[in-house]
Chain A
Amino acid sequence: MRGLAEIAERLRRSSVQIIDRGGGGSGIVWDSEGRVLTNSHVLRGDEAHAIDANGQHFRARVVRRNRERDLALLETGRDLKPAMLGDSAALRAGQIVIAIGNPLGVHGAVVCGVVHANGPVGFGFPGNWIQADIRLAPGNSGGLLADAEGRVIGVNTMVFRGLGLAIPSNDAAAFVRYREARAA
Chain B
Amino acid sequence: MATPNSLAELSRELAQAVETGGAGVVAVHGRPQVPSSGILWRDGIVVTTDHTLKRHEDITITLPNKTTLPATLAGRDPASDIAVLRINENAAPAAKLADEASVKVGNFVLALGRPGEYVTASFGVVSAFGTVRGPGRRLGHIDRLIRPDVCIYLGFSGGALVDAEGRVVGMNTSALGRGAAFTIPASTVSRTIEDLLSQGRIRRGFLGVGLQPVRLPDGRTGLIILSIELDGPASRAGIFVGDVLLSLEGQAVNDTDDVQAHLGGDRIGKPITAEIVRGGAPLSLTVVPGERHAGGPQ
Contacts and interface: CB of A to CB of B under 8 A. Distances in A.
Interface string B11-26: 1101111110010000
A121 to B, nearest CB: 10
Interface stretch (B113-121, B182-190, B289-297): B113-121
Contacts of A2: 5-7
Contacts of A118: 118
Contact of A162 (B5, B12, B123, B153): B153
Contacts of B151: 133, 162
Contact-residue bracket for chain B:
20 to 34
Nearest to A148: B11
A161 B154 contact: yes
B8 interface: yes
B118 A117 contact: yes
Contacts of A114: 14, 110, 121-123
A133 B19 contact: no
Contact of B7 (A94, A117, A122, A148): A148
B10 interface: yes
Interface residues of A, number: 26
Nearest to B16: A94
Secondary structure at the B interface, as helix, strand, loop or mixed, is: mixed
B6 A93 contact: no
A94 B110 contact: yes
Contacts, number: 84
Contacts of A133: 121-123, 150-151, 153
A76 to B, nearest CB: 30
B4 interface: yes
B7 A116 contact: no
A122 B116 contact: yes
Nearest to B18: A94
Interface string A111-148: 00111111100100000000101000000000000011
A3 interface: yes
A125 to B, nearest CB: 13
B10 A96 contact: yes
Interface in B142-185: 150-154
A118 B119 CA distance: 9
Contacts of B4: 1
A85 interface: no
Interface of A: 1-4, 7, 92-96, 113-119, 122, 131, 133, 147-149, 161-163
15 contacts: A1-B5, A2-B5, A2-B6, A3-B6, A93-B18, A93-B118, A94-B17, A94-B110, A94-B123, A95-B15, A96-B14, A117-B120, A118-B118, A147-B11, A149-B7
